[in-house]
Amino acid sequence: MAKLRVTLRVNGEEREALIEPQATLLEVLREDLELTGTKHGCELGECGACTVLIDGTPVISCLALGRACQEKDIRTVEGMADPEPHALQTAFAELGAAQCGYCTPGFLLTAEALLEEKSEPTRDDIKDALAGNLCRCTGYIKIYEAVELAAARMRGENAQPTQEAIYGQQ
Ligand X SMILES: Cc1cc2nc3c(=O)[nH]c(=O)nc-3n(C[C@H](O)[C@H](O)[C@H](O)COP(=O)(O)OP(=O)(O)OC[C@H]3O[C@@H](n4cnc5c(N)ncnc54)[C@H](O)[C@@H]3O)c2cc1C
Q: How far is the CB of 62 from ligand X (least distance, A)?
A: 10
Q: Site for ligand X (CB under 6 A): which residue of 16, 46, 55, 120?
A: 46
Q: Mind giving me the DSSP string for 45-111?
A: SSS-TTEEEETTEEEEGGGSBGGGGTTSEEE-GGGT-SSSPPHHHHHHHHHT--SS-TTHHHHHHHH
In the bound state with ligand X, the residue whose beta carbon lies nearer, of 39 and 86, is 39
In the bound state with other proteins, the residue whose beta carbon lies nearer, of 58 and 161, is 58
Q: Identify which range of 1-9, 44-52, 87-95, 148-156 contacts ligand X by CB under 6 A.
A: 44-52
Of 103, 150, 105, 102, give the one whose Cα is nearest residue 126.
150
Report the alpha-carbon distance of residue 98 to residue 77 in Å, rounded: 15
Q: How far is the CB of 41 from ligand X (least distance, A)?
A: 11
In the bound state with other proteins, the residue whose beta carbon lies nearer, of 46 and 82, is 46
Task: Please state, in angstroms and as integers, the Cα–Cα distance from residue 135 to each residue in 2, 79, 129, 153, 170, following that order.
Answer: 38, 22, 14, 24, 25
Does the protein bind ligand X through residue 131 (CB under 6 A)? no
Q: Site for ligand X (CB under 6 A): which residue of 21, 45, 56, 139?
A: 45
Q: Which residues bind other proteins (CB under 8 A)?
A: 1, 20-24, 27, 40, 43-46, 48, 51, 57-60, 62-65, 67-68, 110, 128-129, 131-134
Name the packing angle between helices 141-154 and 87-95 (round to 10°).
140
DSSP label of 13: E
In the bound state with other proteins, the residue whose beta carbon lies nearer, of 20 and 94, is 20
Q: Is 112:86 a contact under the CB 8 Å cutoff?
A: yes
In the bound state with ligand X, the residue whose beta carbon lies nearer, of 46 and 120, is 46
Residues that bind ligand X (CB under 6 A): 44-46
